[in-house]
Structure 1
Amino acid sequence: MDAAQWDERYRASAGGVWAAEPPAVVREITASLHPGTAIDVATGDGRTALWLAARGWTTTGVDFSAEALALAVARPGGDAVTWVRGDVTTWEPPASADLVVSCYLHLSDSAAAVARMAEWVAPGGVLVVVGHDVDNIAAGGHGPSDPAILYTPALLRGAVDERFHVARCGQLVRTSADAELRGGHAAHAVDTLLHAVRVR
């Protein structure tokens, strides 16, 4: 979907598309980190950026949908985040960040997008990427049905270079208790996680 299609989806939503909190694995990883600067890539209506800001992170939320950002800024705590309209394939942050996180961003060249995000991580910083795994199609989980834009552990691991230590990279099974969408979803879903630390 392009920006215009996402704008329409957000306009049609009743108060937002995504669940109120980030995925459980994102909360788990970031809860153990000392707050610093953070970039939430493809922030959508802001759930991850707002969660991080509420925990002391100086957060920038980036998305190419103006409608998504309008919902995000109107949410409680929305004034604590710097919201930027930008496309991950072309946007560049003004400075590197201690944390770069991306949830459910799927593009025709996702590996290149993740490699770009990795460049934004400061030495000692953390990259967290989570999205639908290619096996999610067979599992019947919500999400894209085009395997060409879905993740695999090999794809995400290959998107970072020797400057990164891969702390965790693999499949996750997510249940309706850890919903991606507002209102939850009955079926479980298969995701892929990359948690990498930039060591130099």
Structure 2
Amino acid sequence: MWSGRPNAVVVDELADLKPGSAFDAGAGEGGDALWLAGRGWKVTAADLSAVALERAADAAAQREVSVDWRRVDLTRDPVPGSYDLVTASYLHLPTERRSRLFARLAAAVAPGGTLLIVGHHPSDADSGVHRPDLADIGWTAEDLAQSLPSGWVVDTCATRARTEHGADGDECTVHDAVLRAHRES
């Protein structure tokens, strides 16, 4: 279903980081996890979908990269470990569940580590691209930044425009909410 390529925001925000341990929440078919592993990261990737994880594992084998794939419900189960990088792209959860999950993800970042969360900005509700109910699942980077506990430094807090094809096939502009922060050592 997906391209298998990493999200552009992930590449833009993380290309200069020194590899270490990484956790990719909601990894889907593995585009971000595979990109990180190919750059030398030791990656653990989690998703609810067994089918997506199977496809991701097949892609990893073809690319000859190693990723620890885990089927986990991160809204119920703890993040398995502590990491130099925790990333999540386009997780679609209602506000209450999302807030708890994002807090769990932040807690899994090791001192000095980085948190990158990318999502659909709520302004895209009328963009022409089919999105689930953005009134409930959309969020702004500013809201997420304010929810971080003390001990965090926000590196990126932005709304970024990009072009996508709408339901009618026409190009339209959509917006991503981007939060990158690092935990103080």
Please name the residue that 2:138 is paired with. 150
TM-score, normalisation: structure 2: 0.88
Instruction: Confirm or deny: 8 A CA contact 1:60 1:81 kept in the other structure.
Output: yes
Please name the residue that 1:190 is paired with. 175
Distance 2:170 2:52 in 1: 21
Residue identity (%): 39
Please name the residue that 1:10 is paired with. none
Instruction: Confirm or deny: 8 A CA contact 1:142 1:189 kept in the other structure.
Output: no
3-state SS of paired residue (1:187): strand
| Residue among 144, 147, 159 paired with 1:171 | 159
* Pairing 1:60–2:44 present: yes
TM-score, normalisation: structure 1: 0.82
Unpaired runs of at least 5, structure 1: 1-16
Q: In the alignment, residue 116 of structure 1 is paired with which amino acid? A: R
- Flag the structure with higher strand content: 2
Please name the residue that 2:83 is paired with. 97
Q: In the alignment, residue 40 of structure 2 is paired with which amino acid? A: G
For residues 85-108 of structure 1, the C-alpha deviation after alignment (integer angstroms, 9 at most, x for no partner) is: 001112224421000000000211
Q: Given the superposition, is the C-alpha separation of residues 46 and 163 from structure 1 closer, same or farther in structure 2, using an over 3 Å criterion?
A: same
Structure 1 stretch displaced more, 37-46 or 166-175: 166-175
Distance 2:31 2:123 in 1: 25
Structure 1 stretch displaced more, 88-97 or 98-107: 88-97
For residues 106-165 of structure 1, the C-alpha deviation after alignment (integer angstroms, 9 at most, x for no partner) is: 211222211110000000000000010100112223422341111122331133111110
Instruction: Confirm or deny: 8 A CA contact 1:173 1:190 kept in the other structure.
Output: yes
* Pairing 1:24–2:8 present: yes
Runs of 4+ in 1 over 6 A off after TM superposition: none
